[in-house]
Amino acid sequence: MKYDDAPKICPVCGNLLKYRDRRQRIIRTEDGRTLWCTVRRFKCTNCNRLHTEIPKQLTPYKHYQTSSIEDVIDGVTDESDPATADGPSEQTMKRWRRWFSSNEDRLHGYIRNTQQKILEKHLPPDYGSSYLRSARKNGAGWLHHVLCFVYNLGGFLIPYYEKRLYLERLRCTYLGSTVSSA
């Protein structure tokens, strides 16, 4: 795997990142193969946070290739497609669709707020959604582009299975009560 030797900048505080180490990362392909790649990790010289350099073919916190996830979200591939017999399960595909749809508003907000800061002007409320729609229409690679936009600026997406718990904690914190871990 080729690495970009340009200086890395911390998405949280903006300081330089220093190379720390490498680790193995699993990649699952549409045809059912399991591959391994080495990803580099960097540590911020200021805030001491650890950052992993994710290659283009991977999505943070997912094992399958970004192109596979993108095809499922766009409806190019679905459970009835015989080509996916060795690939992701029906349940995994459903989970990816729910993950994306449950984070769509979050994506729109990240895109809109970041562009507003860059352009230093007020943008219409639907700007994030129109940007996401146009990125999806541009074809393959849109998911990687959008995820880089979010994660490289210190943002994050909520895993689908945790969203309910996250929102419940947020609601309880807002109401002044605490969440018990029974």
Query: For residue range 15-73, what is the model confidence (pLDDT) as tens digits?
Result: 999 999 999 999 998 888 999 999 999 999 999 999 888 888 899 889 999 999 999 99
Q: Residue 11 domain-assigned?
A: no
pLDDT value of position 167: 62
Q: Beta-carbon neighbour count of residue 169 at 10 Å?
A: 13
Q: Residue 161 domain-assigned?
A: no
Helix, strand, coil percentages for the chain (3-state, nearest 5) = 40, 15, 40
Mean pLDDT in residue range 146-168: 75
Q: Residue 52 domain-assigned?
A: yes
8 Å CB contact between 69 and 62: yes
Q: Residue 44 domain-assigned?
A: yes
* C-alpha–C-alpha distance, residues 131 and 149, integer Å: 12
Structure token digits, residue 141: 């690679």
Question: Who wins on pLDDT, 121 or 75?
Answer: 75
Q: Residue 95 domain-assigned?
A: yes
CB-count exposure of residue 58 (10 Å: 0-12, 13-18, 19+):
buried
Produce one character per residue of 17-44: b if its CB has 16 or more CB atoms within 10 Å, e if not: beeeeeeeeebbbbeeeeeeeebbebeb
* C-alpha–C-alpha distance, residues 30 and 21, integer Å: 29
Q: Residue 3 domain-assigned?
A: no
Written as one letter, the residue type at 133 is R
Q: Is the pLDDT of residue 182 over 50?
A: no
Q: Residue 182 domain-assigned?
A: no
pLDDT value of position 5: 75
Of the pLDDT bands very low, low, confident and very high (cuts 50, 70, 90), residue 93 is very high
Predicted TM-score (pTM) of the model is 0.76
Closest CA to 112 of 138, 98, 104: 104
Q: At what angle do helices 90-119 and 66-73 cross, to 10 degrees?
A: 90
Q: Residue 162 domain-assigned?
A: no
pLDDT value of position 8: 87
Q: Chain-centre distance of CA 172, in angstroms?
A: 26
Instruction: Give the range of the structural domain holding residue 98, as residue numbers without chain letter.
Output: 17-156
Domain count along the chain: 1
Mean pLDDT in residue range 123-140: 77
